[in-house]
Structure 1
Amino acid sequence: MRRLNSKKISFLFIAFFLITTFTTACSNSSANKVTVMGSSAMQVLAEQAGNDFHKDHPDSNIIVQGGGSGTGLSQVQAGAVEIGTSDVFAENQKGIDASKLKDYKIAVVGIIPIVNKGTGVKDLSTKQLADIFTGKITNWKQVGGKNLPITVINRSKGSGTRSTFEGLILGKQKPMKAQEQDSNGTVRKIVSSTPGTISYISAPYAKDSNIQKLSLNGIKPNEQNITTNKWQLWSYEHAYVKGKPNKMTKEFLNYLLSKKVQNNLIPQLGYISINAMKVTRDSNNQVINN
């Protein structure tokens, strides 16, 4: 039997060590990876929370992606991501079996109608807003603004923000055909630069002096009015998981619900802590006083 010389033994030992180290590293990386996908309304919060969480957990790998609430729910249901974020209850999303998902309500976000500053309008009634988005009102002069055609910018289908907006404002009325955009940021940019435009965005994206935030029926979209449901355009920011979350996912969810995030980061970014709400809302949009 031929003996292996010392160089070959050393080479085999080093190769074995590298393969073992690489395999272990890959395994640990996979265990510590948490992919968060879905609601663009929650994306700002998830990204900042992920960055802050990583400072205390250097071995964590929090990946945050948008795509819309429908995408987040379908991806977490398929087991493709660890957390699916959504502005709507899973029960209300077609093709989703909510019984297989666990819901963590992380925050509340206001939904704010916005217009280009040149419209000359700062307040609408709920009926006027509905009439604009159904095409019954087509010029700003019809609601006390300038003689300027109205251009409606809608969110894309699958958007939880759109689903909430249409459910609360349009009810069973059919929305008019309009330009659709995937993200809050794109909507804000178009409205700020295009005369006559109107749309709606999540509150964290509304901190822009180049757009006009609308009040409804004389009620402003501020935290006090949202927490008491005087401002009814709001939704939960849900984080859904399928089955039992792995250790790192559970730790990140606990972090999102911690005092540090709820009391500091969430209001800082323009969201509302889940603990600040004076009312709750169920999947049928029925509001209950806490």
Structure 2
Amino acid sequence: MVGTTLIELRNHIEALASDDGSYYLVCGRTGERPIPTSGLRFERRVIAQSAARAAEQYRTALRRYDSRLPYRDLIVCQDAEPIIESDSQEEQPPDATQWSLSEPVLSGPTPDGDRQLVEFCHSVAAAVFETLCDDGYRSVETAVMDEYLELAETVSDPDDLCLCLLESMAIELDTQLTQTEQANVLSRAAARLPSPEPADDPVAATFARLQRLGLLGAYTQSPWSIDFDEGVRSVVVEVSEYALSARDGRLPVLPVVLDLSRRQLDWSLSALRIAEVETGWQVTLVLERDANVEYSANVPILSGA
């Protein structure tokens, strides 16, 4: 199973890493640090080169299920200037004079326009596949890929295939797991992704990031409603041009809950409600101080807003 392969390769790469290492890996063409080496450093150049080869195998395993996963020409850098994490905005790569080419490990075409969105989709997929396998949900992992491949046969635009992956993943998680199980899987999957910068308003930070990635066109957020006695707070966000499609009266919200789960929340997400409005979708998020965390990756659409 792909999840088993990904876990073994990630564990190998992380075992090579060192907290105080001076070497790290970036894509020589984009300056990004793609999964699964984002945020990792290595003590010696030869160790970093070994990690690059393992990263190639990791991405090849994931590419078996979606050929749209971008190729990365990984190179070894030492003590670089500011770098680009895979979920950051466009920046210039580090000074090329500080780069040193490792043994060639990745090659092939990389689409430019949707680079960050495609990388995000596959980062999410890898994290969820690993977690499903690690938690013993092999049947769910298989069902996700079967559903995705069935959807992919009906999609004429290859640029949309990565979105199909998120949609199929949300559908199968919702179909085969309870809300508590889904919340646990997504929380553990989120922990495998790079940690975000602290934000005063994590909900606003999540929707701003999804907007930058192209998963939604625009959004507006209401003021927070807070009941300190009950320990409950809620907020309403209206989004337009959401990239994932509703099916059978439900809307996939996997990118929302996964990105929100990776942020350090003082209040736990206890409910997420969806209603269709003229401009798109109305998303109501309810957070509680002491909540049994239960939510779905594929949410029923309420009638009326």
Specify if TM > 0.5. Answer: no
Structure with the largest fraction of strand: 1
The two structures have a TM-score, normalised by structure 2, of 0.23
Q: What is the TM-score with the length of structure 1 in the denominator? A: 0.24
Q: Which has the larger radius of gyration?
A: 1
